[in-house]
Amino acid sequence: MYLLENSHFWFVGKRFFIKTYLDPIKRNTHNILDIGSGTGGATKFLEKYGKVTGIEKNNYAISLAKKRGLKIIKGEAEKLPFKNNNFDLVTIFDVLYHKDVKDVKKAILEIKRVLKQNGYILIADSALNFLKGNHSHSTYEKRRFTAGELVNVLRNNGFVTIKHSYIYFSIFPLVLLKRIFIDKFFKSKDSDVFSVPKVINLLLIFLLKLESLLLNYVKLPIGSSMVILSVKK
């Protein structure tokens, strides 16, 4: 991840989607918490929107993220080491799916606790259970969601959703082919995130850029992940 985050189409595309959702609210995102910083690629990107504190559980990931000059604190989603009503925005990207998150509702309530009134939560996470495959084992995936499921969890715990959509719609056929067909015949413990030829990588980045522009106007009907922006009420 550390070597690929700045160039790989999947990570670059995710930052396109984040930008689409955060640009309209950037005047209100001064103090930001990024839960599950990993090796810090998305956390670094968030510095465009305010002062960012990252939280991460894995010691080796923390050491890599700090090489990017980031403020990273050790901790976990279900027990945040921060006072109440502290942040304008909390982001949580590809964390809730993970086996280390025992209780999704508890994580959402912790985010609510540390958010200021009318503060924002931005979630990006894995979608659709039928897309479980070899990649799921390598990333310790426990669950995938529908957008409606997470929107309901947010609504039932004090949030109002502003907008949401599936993402990676433009490359969904490729993901479907890999997870439904190829993974059934070729078992592997390797992640789907690996270096791809430059021309293919650039083409996929172009497609995801177009998709992120489309997100300004429509909610996409399907994708391998989802993005949700909600506000604490």
State the pLDDT at residue 140.
74
Structural fold of domain 9-232 = Rossmann fold (3.40.50)
What are the residue ranges spanned by the domains of the chain? 9-232
**With contact defined as beta carbons under 8 Å apart, do 64 and 44 qualify?**
no
Tell me which DSSP letter residue 72 carries: E
Q: Which residues of the chain have pLDDT under 70?
A: 134-139, 187-192
State the pLDDT at residue 134.
63
Residues 6+ apart with CB under 8 A from 124: 14, 17, 18, 92, 93, 94, 167, 225, 226, 227, 228
- pTM value is 0.94
Please give the torsion angle defined by the CA atoms of residues 214, 219, 222 and 225, in that order, rounded to the nearest 10 degrees. 80
Please give the torsion angle defined by the CA atoms of residues 7, 215, 121 and 93, in that order, rounded to the nearest 10 degrees. -30
Cα(211)–Cα(72) distance, rounded to whole angstroms?
31
State the pLDDT at residue 187.
67
The β-bridge partners of 93 are 124
State the pLDDT at residue 136.
61
Cα(186)–Cα(153) distance, rounded to whole angstroms?
36
State the pLDDT at residue 9.
96
pLDDT tens digits for 65-75? Answer: 999 999 999 99
State the pLDDT at residue 17.
98
